[in-house]
Amino acid sequence: MKPKTYRFILFTLVILLGAVLGYGTSTGNPFIALLALPSALIILLILKPFVRGVTEDERNYRLAGNAARWAFSIFVVTAAIVSNVLIALGVEKADMSDRYFIVAGTTLSLAVAFLFVVYLIAYIIYSRRS
């Protein structure tokens, strides 16, 4: 299999996965999502050895690292600001018993905190390896 064919299959799978996850969410069925993601990963793992030629190299890894660092920074800053705004709005509306803003803001804050913890763990692991 040519690398181009593999990339086409990968692209098609991502689209299909998005559609399946969307369907699972809209129908309220979490098992569809739980099955779809591992299935897609297994298909890709099975197909990978059949690819002739190089599909990724050190340049791709470096680009992926830079893109991930950039995405991490943007997400953390944006999420921190948005979560503060949401919590502030929720506190302001507290007398209207509308707690959705507080819940959304707190969830976003926790997501940022979790991301930081994962980043820290990954950083420690990689710094010990090199």
Partner 1 sequence: MKTNRISNRIKVWRAEYDLTQQQLAEEIGVTRQTINALEKGKYVPSLDLAFRIARRFESTLEEVFHYDE
CA distance 122 to 130: 12
- Closest distance between partner 1 and the C-beta of residue 15, in Å? 23
DSSP 3-state of 95 = helix
What contacts 52, CB < 8 A, 6 or more positions away? 1, 2, 3
Which of 38, 53 has the CB closer to partner 1?
53
Residues that bind partner 1 in the complex, under the rule CB under 8 A: 3, 53-60
Which of 63, 120 has the CB closer to partner 1?
63
Half-sphere exposure of 52 (CA within 13 A, CB side): 2
- Closest distance between partner 1 and the C-beta of residue 55, in Å? 7
- Closest distance between partner 1 and the C-beta of residue 66, in Å? 12
What ranges make up the beta strands (E) of the chain? none
- Closest distance between partner 1 and the C-beta of residue 65, in Å? 13
Which of 66, 78 has the CB closer to partner 1?
66
Which of 61, 114 has the CB closer to partner 1?
61
- Cβ burial, residue 26 (10 Å; 0-12/13-18/19+): exposed
